[in-house]
Structure 1
Amino acid sequence: MRKRSIKNTRVNTEVQRELSDIIRNMKDPRVAPWTSVVAAEVAPDLKTCKAYISVLGGKKEQEDTIAGLTNGEGFIRRELARTLNMRNTPEIHFVLDQSIEYGVNMSRKIDEVTRNISTEGDADAE
């Protein structure tokens, strides 16, 4: 299976959706309640999967959530095998994704710059 084939895209989407459901229902106290699966990349041979995880919270919550997910990988993989009908259940590697946090930070900076420009423009008009 090629990396960008339609089948691989469907597998990635299905794994992402199921991982979101499994993580949402986990009872591990280390996993933050505002944890979401941003993307899942399953290898073409269906042996490994990179799950990009976004956590709303501070650095400590992010580290605890990744530790909790890594520790519960066997449970998550078993639940994934139970819900998905695949020949191989991929080994999951959790990666902290900070793109949402980066986007919010950049948006905040852009708003700050545009606010400064508009206040300087008002001062020049007088």
Structure 2
Amino acid sequence: MANRRNNRLSGEMKRVISEVIRNEVKDPRLSELLSVTDVDVMEDLKYAKVYISVYGDIEPTLEALRSAKGFIRREVGKRIKMRLTPELLFEKDDSIEKGIYMSSLINKVIEDEESRKPKDESEDE
């Protein structure tokens, strides 16, 4: 039961945080190509890890978000009626980069396998 509640809360927080960052946080360090990929709310509701993905250098964007986290937290508390609003911890989400890297490794293995095939086999197919 609590797990389902955390999942629903995480999804709602992701939506609200994305909206607040996009529409209300005015910081020139924020990247235009910023995406909130996931929000992980801890069981005790004291902390929420907010995973951010950015095209390009992420450090200035993380600094901007960390400096605006009090404002973002207050807005989340206003929009989602909660007794306790979790403290926001912004972290880099590198899952997209890892996926691209894994895809390139798979493509390399496929190319290596095709180059090892005898020419007779490749002509038959």
Q: TM-score, normalised by structure 2?
A: 0.84
Give CA deviations for 1:58-117 in whole Å, capped at 9, x if unaligned.
xxx211111111011111112112211111111101111111111111102211221232
SS of 2:37's equivalent? strand
For these two proteins, the number of residue pairs brought into alignment is: 119
In the TM superposition, residue 11 of structure 1 has moved relative to its aligned partner by: 0.7
Matching residue within 92, 107, 113 for 1:117: 113
Within 5 Å, give how 1:66-105 maps onto structure 2: 66-105=62-101
Which residue in the other structure is 2:123 paired with?
none
Distance 2:79 2:39 in 1: 16
In the TM superposition, residue 43 of structure 1 has moved relative to its aligned partner by: 2.1
Identity, % of aligned positions: 41
Q: Which amino acid aligns with 2:63?
A: A
CA RMSD in angstroms comes to 1.7
SS of 1:41's equivalent? strand
Q: Which amino acid aligns with 2:51?
A: Y
Matching residue within 100, 103, 106 for 2:102: 106
Moved over 4 A (4+): none
Unaligned 5+ residue runs, structure 1?
none
Within 5 Å, give how 1:1-126 maps onto structure 2: 2=2, 5-25=3-23, 26-57=25-56, 61-121=57-117, 124-125=118-119
Distance 1:125 1:47 in 2: 62
Distance 1:47 1:78 in 2: 14
